[in-house]
Amino acid sequence: MVIAGSRAQYKGTGTINGSGNYGFLLTAVDGDLGNSISPDLFRVKIWDKKNNDALIYDNQNGAEDNAPLATQLGGGSIVIHTAKNNTTPTTIAGPSPAQMNELAYPGKFNIAYPNPGIRQFTLSISSDKKEVVTIRVSDILGRVVESRLNVSANTSIRFGKNYYPGIYFVEVQQGKERRQLKLIKLSE
């Protein structure tokens, strides 16, 4: 990961559904770190390294990799931490692509796969508690596209088959515990 002021960029490689060789570029801007307060922005770009770097997904199609970002974050916030002496590190180590793909959280709460995915996602909910779970899926603009109430704990559900390609946020709540996962649906 490379951080320059309010902008962070992470570049890596991975697979989709366990196969292929894809490159990805995630870029984010923390709007609170600039000279003036502005919205948090992001960019996701995915390409097929085995197919002459053919573009799979880019929310700023045609823009250079270092172009100014245009897509506002639809929910949550981007936070780039600065060092105690008020300087920003130029590079830091980030999670491996496998760690980013798993979306696991402490307490064995939930895992979504495949991510990115082409057809649909499977959400595995594993919890020591027996309380029912509420699931809400929102698109990048914060619009709720699907809700499921009273889902049994320790189960798996499939969803997203009819979603358009893009970025989605899945919020899973059980009692007072809440987790949010980010999923990417690719076009076929």
What does the pLDDT look like over 39-76, one tens digit per residue?
888 899 999 999 999 988 898 888 888 888 888 877 67
Helix or strand holding residue 101 (H, E): helix 97-102
Asked if 60 and 73 touch (Cβ cutoff 8 Å), the reply is no
Among all chains, which residue has been given the structure tokens 């931490």? 81
Supply the pLDDT for residue 82.
Answer: 65
Helix or strand holding residue 99 (H, E): helix 97-102
Supply the pLDDT for residue 137.
Answer: 92
DSSP states along 21-35: EEEEEEEEE-TTSSS
For residue 182 the two structure tokens come to 């980010």
What confidence tier does 163 reach under pLDDT thresholds 50, 70, 90?
very high
Supply the pLDDT for residue 40.
Answer: 83
pLDDT tens across 122-145, in order?
888 877 788 888 999 998 888 899
Tell how far CA 6 is from the center of its chain.
19
Supply the pLDDT for residue 146.
Answer: 93
Supply the pLDDT for residue 85.
Answer: 55
Asked if 27 and 11 touch (Cβ cutoff 8 Å), the reply is no
Domain ranges (residues) in the chain: 2-72, 103-185
Supply the pLDDT for residue 102.
Answer: 36
Alpha-carbon distance of 45 to 131, in angstroms, equals 38
Residue 69's closest CA among 44, 45, 43?
A: 43
Q: Which CATH fold would you assign to the domain 103-185?
A: Immunoglobulin-like (2.60.40)
Supply the pLDDT for residue 148.
Answer: 92
pLDDT tens across 65-112, in order?
888 888 887 767 777 776 655 544 433 334 433 333 333 333 344 567
128 or 27, which is more confident?
A: 27
185 or 79, which is more confident?
A: 185
Amino acid at site 184: I
With b for 16 or more beta-carbon neighbours within 10 A and e for fewer, the 114-142 pattern comes to bbbbeeebebebebeeeeebbbbbbbbee
Q: How many CB atoms lie within 10 A of CB 84?
A: 6
What confidence tier does 155 reach under pLDDT thresholds 50, 70, 90?
confident
